[in-house]
A = this chain, B = another copy of it.
């Protein structure tokens, strides 16, 4: 009675129907089980199992036959049952940066969301926080992580050299790695989830360019502690400059790093100096989420005719966006980066699904009027794995 031939793949829906008051019978595709394959192929479930998982020890002839029956009947592994029976835990180690920074706080929110969603799949997330601008600490945490033998790793490799080293270590140990935030083309990881930095710089330029005069100076500003050798910053700058190359105007692109951005006075006097030097400064592009820090210490009136473009929907940025002091923000979707980073590892390791190697998140253009829709968390990225 559990027997189902290929011709019986459809069964009467009413049987399983809860409110089976209806007499009308509706046919519904039924899920084919290992048992059904075994019966049809005239073997035991164990043999089918061996074929499915390529465990070997199956006569070639039998194997082929079973495979044929499987495709005929359209077998699909039941992920629910499979996961339940698999019954393994998975430890993921994540290496990100200190949560004082609202951007990294949001990344971590994504991680926590993912942890919650995957708890039932036996996923355990260990998150390590590195101080920004501290490659030594990064190196140390990386070593610690590798030595703790995690099943998978998620990392934001802000430091070029140390990041690469970490990835190589993981590769040697056979630990799959998901990269977020900063792409590392040279490294072979399971996947990268984040933005196309080059293109984000390009778009930033385009947004600055809206209504800009024929001749002007624009400033690309890195507010980063320590040396900015992160790949994504270099790419952003490339994209930014590229746009102005052939826009038909005559725009001078100035690019500057300012490391002591936490020192308001220093930042202020430095920027005022820039303003004095470049009288036609009409656009500022802050390459990370710290645009607000510049605005915090410089008076409104200096920005009268300057278009501001920044990154990320962090609290202070949003305020400036709403008060029209920032014109555009490009959303890097930190929450989704963290979330998808974990999800992809789980997809790979537990659900054994293919994952795309490069997953560029959209470059959301955020203005005052559509800002709320990106910040409100009312859209339920499914709270549970589908």
Chain A residues packing against B (C-beta within 8 Å): 13, 16-19, 21-22, 24, 26, 28-29, 31, 76, 78-81, 83-84, 88-89, 91, 114, 117-122, 124, 148-149, 151, 193, 196, 199, 202-203, 206, 210-211, 340, 343-344, 346-347, 351, 353, 355-356, 358-365, 367, 369-370, 373-374, 376, 378-380, 382-386
Min CB gap A352→B, angstroms: 11
Name the residue of chain B whose CB is nearest to the CB of A210.
B210
The one of B19, B203, B359, B364 that contacts A369, using a Cβ cutoff of 8 Å: B203
Tell me if A353 and B383 are in contact (CB < 8 A): yes
Name the residue of chain B whose CB is nearest to the CB of A81.
B84
- Complex Cα distance A149/B365, Å? 44
Name the residue of chain B whose CB is nearest to the CB of A18.
B88
Min CB gap A361→B, angstroms: 6
Tell me if B26 and A148 are in contact (CB < 8 A): yes
Tell me if B384 and A79 are in contact (CB < 8 A): yes
Tell me if B383 and A88 are in contact (CB < 8 A): no
Tell me if A384 and B386 are in contact (CB < 8 A): yes
The one of B206, B355, B380 that contacts A359, using a Cβ cutoff of 8 Å: B380
Tell me if A370 and B18 are in contact (CB < 8 A): no
Tell me if A384 and B84 are in contact (CB < 8 A): no
The one of B13, B114, B376 that contacts A91, using a Cβ cutoff of 8 Å: B13
Tell me if B17 and A117 are in contact (CB < 8 A): no
